[in-house]
Amino acid sequence: MDVAKRIEEYLAGPDELRQSIAGMSAAEIDAAPIPGKWSTRQIICHIADFEPVYADRMKRVIAEEKPPLLGGDPDLFAAKLAYDQRDLEEEFQLMTAVRQHTARILKTLSPEQFQRTGIHSRDGELSLATLLDRITNHIPHHIRLIREKREAMNV
């Protein structure tokens, strides 16, 4: 893994997400045009909710010996954390701040430190490299889902 490149990809995520919703109206952002799938607003809130979770997991793996890493249920977060009332600009600010903060720490580490591990409550042993890959790939995964929504609405 090219750590420096991966960290840059990690940092680019929020801007890429912002670009993926460019030109969408508030109604389009709140629409759920594909049955059983979240709206774009729900996706953005979900991403913002899990940024601090992943930052915490990565920090624990860096600082502690094989720390426990708790899982989280995205559907419970979506159901109970006021996604319909949240401000998208605040969500983007949170994502950006968390990633900048975490990237500053990650840039200080040696390649060997990316092999440190924690024990996830559902997925078992995960390395720092794996955690960074997962959170870096999180936004591109959801951008694909936003594109599906846009196509369904002809936006």
Which pLDDT tens digit goes with each residue over 32-85?
999 999 999 999 999 999 999 999 999 999 999 999 999 999 999 999 999 999
Q: CB–CB of 58/128 below 8 Å?
A: yes
- Residue-level pLDDT at 17: 98
Give yes or no for a contact between 58 and 12, defined as CB atoms under 8 angstroms apart.
Answer: no
pLDDT score, position 77: 96
- Kindly list the distances between the CA atom of residue 125 and the CA atoms of 27, 50, 70, 73, 116, in Å, as whole numbers in the listed order: 42, 19, 12, 19, 10
pLDDT for the residue numbered 121: 94
Confidence band of 117 (pLDDT split at 50, 70, 90): very high
Least Cα distance to 44 among 13, 67, 73 occurs for 13
The pLDDT of residue 102: 98
* pLDDT given at position 65: 98
Give how far the C-alpha of residue 148 lies from the chain's centroid of Cα atoms, to the nearest Å. 19
Using an 8 Å Cβ cutoff, are 29 and 88 in contact?
Answer: yes
* pLDDT value at residue 83: 97
Backbone angles phi, psi at 38, to 5 degrees: -65, 160
Q: Is the dihedral of CA 62, 4, 107, 95 positive or negative?
A: negative
In this model, does residue 20 exceed pLDDT 90?
yes
